[in-house]
Amino acid sequence: MNALRATSRKPYALACLTRILVASLLMAGVATCVRAQGLVASGIVSGSGSGPYTYDLVFSNGVSATQPIRAIWYAGTTNSYYLPSTPISVFAPAGWNAALSGNGTQSSIQFTVNSGTSFIAAGSSLSGFGFQANFTPSELAAAPNGGLSWANSGSFFNGLSERFTVTGPAAPEPGAPILLVCGGAGLWLASHIRANELRGRS
């Protein structure tokens, strides 16, 4: 009797295992399809200069994207603007336009394609975007939502869109004069401590 029950349970257990496996595969396939659709945008910003500062932007579209990027709203969205202050000027690579968007005190930048072949295709990157501003790289990095941006497959509010965060900028390295001053101060302090030690021994 027990052997009969064990035998009857095997097909049921196998059927349950098969259903779980099929469901898992379907879920994985759906997740892959969802990720592969539309845009896979990313961006990096770097700062240089000593005021006004020049900021260079590079935008990318992932290899799994199925649509090109034709418009980018950097550091902003509808009625929300995240740059610390209004930039002095904005620029874009050939085939793109750059324009400020803001409310007078807060600002963002809109980049749009003006040539049909200048979009950012899947698996590619495009540099040449950027702006000049009086705020420092540290102030930009500390700005709440300072890197929050939107990519569009068409014009703004048309086509597919994806929110992404532009990373950076890294804190600037100290200049050579600062390093020399700090190094000199360190040497003086070390020699001063050594001299006091010698006096104490005498």
Q: Flag whether pLDDT at 156 surpasses 70.
A: yes
- For tokens 């000593």, name the residue: 50
Nearest alpha carbon to residue 54 among 152, 112, 131, 1: 131
What is the distance between the alpha carbons of residues 99 and 3, in angstroms, rounded to a whole number?
A: 78
DSSP alpha helices (H): ranges in 37-175?
Answer: 137-142
Greater pLDDT, 34 or 125 = 125
CB-CB neighbours of 55 under 10 Å: 25
Using 50, 70 and 90 to split pLDDT, how confident is the model at 104? confident
3-state DSSP call for residue 102?
strand
Cα gap 99→27, rounded to integer Å? 42
3-class DSSP state for residue 34? helix
The mean predicted confidence, pLDDT, of the chain is 80
pLDDT in tens, 63-81: 999 999 999 999 999 999 9
Q: Do the Cβ atoms of 40 and 25 come closer than 8 Å?
A: no
At residue 196, the pLDDT reads 59
Average pLDDT score over residue span 104-129: 95
Which residues is 165 bridged to in the sheet?
A: 148
Nearest-5° Cα angle at 117, 116 to 119: 90
